[in-house]
Amino acid sequence: MTQDPTTVAEDLSDLIGFVDASPTPYHAVATAAALLDHAGFTALDPIEDWGPEAAGPAYVVRGGALVAWCPGRRSDPAAPLRMIGAHTDSPGLRVRPRPDRSTAGWRQLGVELYGGALRNSWLDRDLGLAGRLAVRSDDAVELRRFRTDGAVMRVPQLAIHLDRDVSTTGLVLNAQQHLTPVWGLGDASDGDFRAWLAALVGVEPSAVVAWEALAYDVQPSAVIGAERDMLAAPRLDDLAGCWAALTAVRHAASVMDPPELPTVVVLNDHEEVGSQTATGADGAWVEQVLERRVAALGGTRTDLLRSLTGSLLVSVDMAHATHPNYPERHEPGHWIRPGGGPVIKHNVNARYATESTGAAAFRAACDRAGVPVQEYSHRGDLPCGSTIGPITASRLAVDTVDVGAPMLSMHSARELMAVADITSLPTALQAI
Ligand code: CO
């Protein structure tokens, strides 16, 4: 397929803007909400009763998760859905509740490892902090997002002179001992971090009652390569999937001739830690939102169940491109090329939810869109990763296909993909 250079350039800068504005799931959801507001979607209050505006285009936010939808030509409450799922979280370092410590003249912040991060990728990077905090005022508690402008800390690697075997036996990083960032000099006292956070958002330290504080690499995303055909960026897994889903639903809401079926986008948090949370794919929230949407359309729970039984979920999470330095780690019949288009992920043990029904539907969409498609299957002698697809499929009993764009360095603090694969993904999703 030949891609329109203007669309490719616009999508590239759109994705970079989304990623760089979204260092945490809370920021990703806020960035998504701003895009949806701009596209004319109504923000629904998660607690209030929903009126006719719940027919959509509309969206609702909870923590680091978001569900958005727009109507199709079929408006009955039992109409099947074109569902697209992705996740807002990425592996990394998160600050503990009592983080203040110091050793040998360095002030440090105690952190906990979130998800299956490539630990080495967090070394010797200039790290900022972002997240949300709970601020108490009178009797109420208010949640506020925060983000440092620049870097405030770093996880320093041990010098090679003190680790002579590192190049031959490999780098072993203990999650308790070796990943603690330095964020200043001198001696720490209990409450330093709380006071710093309070000053950052302009409140008294005693008002700061809790936080989710995430390290992020302050280096912006960059287009690289001799032909500038690669994107190096943090959190592509799975902000690239979130961006593609949002692009598809905004497209469905804007075209004169909308798709027959309503489009629903689900962006879950906590995929990297197993999804069993209030805002994760293994929670009840998505089903609750869908049931409330059907009720607002005048439908019943039976209408919801009929709708889900006929629906297709395209679960978008990133896929492994074949690594040029480690081709032997890949199943030889299923090499994945950068720039080769979206990947359908297969696993007979249901680490991916794809069955022939969903694979056929996604392949047909790619054909209609003129987008090439690839098929991934994991080596038989390596444990396969998983994603929100199987979890959502089992929670909602909905036909699901797991897809994604090819990338290298999955779960690194900085990942890599082909620019050509950025536009292919929403183009394919728009055709489902
Ligand atoms: Co992922």
Say yes or no: 39 and 161 in one domain.
no
Coil vs helix vs strand at 5: helix
Is the distance from CB of 123 to CB of 214 less than 8 angstroms?
Answer: no
CA of 11 to the centre of ligand 1 (A): 20
Say yes or no: 245 and 352 in one domain.
yes
CA of 88 to the centre of ligand 1 (A): 9
Say yes or no: 23 and 163 in one domain.
no
- Alpha-carbon radius of gyration of the chain: 22
CA of 410 to the centre of ligand 1 (A): 8
Phi/psi of residue 101, each to 5°? -155, 165
Say yes or no: 106 and 203 in one domain.
yes
Looking at the domain assignment, is residue 130 inside a domain?
yes
Say yes or no: 304 and 345 in one domain.
yes
Q: Which of 185, 217, 249 is at the close of a domain?
A: 217
Looking at the domain assignment, is residue 405 inside a domain?
yes
Say yes or no: 23 and 47 in one domain.
yes
Say yes or no: 241 and 201 in one domain.
no
CA of 380 to the centre of ligand 1 (A): 21
CA of 384 to the centre of ligand 1 (A): 13
CA of 91 to the centre of ligand 1 (A): 9
Looking at the domain assignment, is residue 225 inside a domain?
no
- Closest by CA to 266, choosing from 85, 89, 425, is 85
Cα torsion through 106, 110, 116, 119, rounded to 10: 10
Task: Mark the ranges of the chain whose per-residue pLDDT is less than 50.
Answer: none
Stated length of the chain: 432
Q: How many CB atoms lie within 10 A of CB 229?
A: 14
CA of 237 to the centre of ligand 1 (A): 5
Q: DSSP strand E in 138-287: where?
A: 140-147, 182-185, 208-217, 222-224, 230-233, 263-268
Query: Which uninterrupted H or E stretch holds 423?
Result: helix 420-430
DSSP string, 35-82: HHHHTTPEEPPSSSPP-GGGGSSEEEEETTEEEEEE--S--STT---E
CA of 160 to the centre of ligand 1 (A): 33
Say yes or no: 273 and 398 in one domain.
yes
Looking at the domain assignment, is residue 74 inside a domain?
yes
What is the tally of structural domains in the chain?
Answer: 2
CA of 318 to the centre of ligand 1 (A): 6
Q: Which of 190, 217, 244 is at the close of a domain?
A: 217
CA of 162 to the centre of ligand 1 (A): 35
Q: What is the CATH number of the domain that holds 21?
A: 3.40.630.10
Q: What is the CATH number of the domain that holds 209?
A: 2.30.250.10
Looking at the domain assignment, is residue 39 inside a domain?
yes
Coil vs helix vs strand at 330: coil
Structural domain including 252 reads 5-90+234-430
Q: Which residues pair with 144 in a beta bridge?
A: 133
pLDDT for residue 1: 60
Say yes or no: 42 and 79 in one domain.
yes
Tokens coding 290: 């869908």
Say yes or no: 175 and 271 in one domain.
no
Say yes or no: 299 and 319 in one domain.
yes
Q: Could you tell me the CA-to-CA distances from 229 to 94, 223, 233, 298 in Å, in that order? A: 33, 7, 13, 49
Say yes or no: 82 and 113 in one domain.
no
CA of 240 to the centre of ligand 1 (A): 10
Angle 2-338-429 (CA atoms, 0-180°, nearest 5)? Answer: 60
CA of 142 to the centre of ligand 1 (A): 30
Looking at the domain assignment, is residue 223 inside a domain?
no
Q: How many CB atoms lie within 10 A of CB 161?
A: 6
Looking at the domain assignment, is residue 305 inside a domain?
yes
CA of 47 to the centre of ligand 1 (A): 29
CA 411 to chain CA centroid, Å, is 11
Q: DSSP strand E in 246-291: where?
A: 263-268
pLDDT for residue 138: 85
Q: Which of 217, 245, 273 is at the close of a domain?
A: 217
Looking at the domain assignment, is residue 417 inside a domain?
yes
